[in-house]
Structure 1
Amino acid sequence: MFGSCCRPVLTTGIAPTAQRLMRSRFTAFALGDAAHLLRTWHPTTRPAVLDPDGGIEWRRLDVLDVRRGGPFDVEGIVEFVALYRQDGVRGTLHERSRFLREGRAWLYVDGVIVNQ
């Protein structure tokens, strides 16, 4: 699955859909790949520096909802729950993320945390 889903996006930074970009970004967080996270972050909201927290072990990504974000759209929303473990304690991150497509590249804009 990694080879067909995320590896091409991690290599090029280009995803055909917002959901594929979301999956690659989750993988990048899990691998500590700050370069991919920064290059797929929209320049209007991108932080100058990103240091992924090495103390979090990202375990699973469940996509709950996708609004637009297809190959012919210019914007999209992906709602997900990411499961993680930190210091032996399980946790979840539930977020609705916004994406914009510029040219062929989808970019992460921002996200809203859903009540947890």
Structure 2
Amino acid sequence: MCILDLKLIQMQCPCNPINIYQNCCQKAHNDINSVPTAEVLMRSRYSAFILGNINYLQKSHHSATRPNKREKREIESWAKSVSWIKLEVLNTTKGTAMDTEGTVEFKAFYTENGQMGIIHENSNFKKENGHWVYVDGIHKK
């Protein structure tokens, strides 16, 4: 096992610092079919942004709304250019293991060029090919 692997095993999970990454979002990043709820998928996507795991972001995006190659590069560049601070999950509707769709309202805090930013979104999720995926979101002010 290399040093990087050990750091990932021991690090706090970006989606919730009381959890260890290995016991939280790493499971989703390694196997999207293991994601039981829309909220877990949303949290794993937030962690993927922080870790620069753009392939997971693509895989966890609905096929009808998935970013193209140019958009993917832009997302990767932007995600790596900001400093992520924290995630707050505000509300969920449906999105359980028994549902086929659901929403998650969240705030993701970051800094960019010395300025604080907040992504406040109500995200829509659906099951596609038997697992949860992000469809789109409505940004809130």
The TM tier, using the shorter chain, reads over 0.9
Q: Name the TM-score, length of structure 2 as normaliser.
A: 0.78
Aligned match for 1:102, one of 112, 117, 128:
128
Q: What residue number does 2:6 align with?
A: none
AA partner of residue 88 (structure 1): G
Higher-RCO chain (CA-CA 8 Å, sequence separation at least 6): 1
Matched AA of 2:68:
A
Answer yes or no: is 1:85 the counterpart of 2:111. yes
CA distance in 2, matches of 1:85, 1:11: 28
Gaps of 5+ in 2: 1-18
**2:55 aligned partner:** 35
**How far has the Cα of 1:7 moved from its partner?**
0.6
Q: Which structure has the bigger radius of gyration? A: 2
Contact in 1 for aligned 2:62/2:128 (Cα 8 Å): no
Structure 2 residue aligned with 1:18: 38
Structure with greater helix percent:
2
Which aligned runs of 4 or more in structure 1 are off by greater than 6 angstroms? none
TM-score (norm 1): 0.94
Contact 1:16-1:104 within 8 A present in 2 as well: no
- Residues 107 and 119 in structure 2, CA contact (< 8 A), matched pair in contact too: yes
Cα-to-partner distance string for 1:50-89 (whole Å, 9 max, x where unaligned): 1221211122110000000000000000000000011222
What's 1:44 paired with? 64
Query: How many pairs were matched up?
Result: 115
How large is the Cα RMSD of the aligned pairs? 1.0
What secondary structure, in the 3-state scheme, does the structure 2 residue paired with 1:95 have?
A: strand
Residue type at the aligned position of 2:138: V
Q: Percent identity?
A: 38
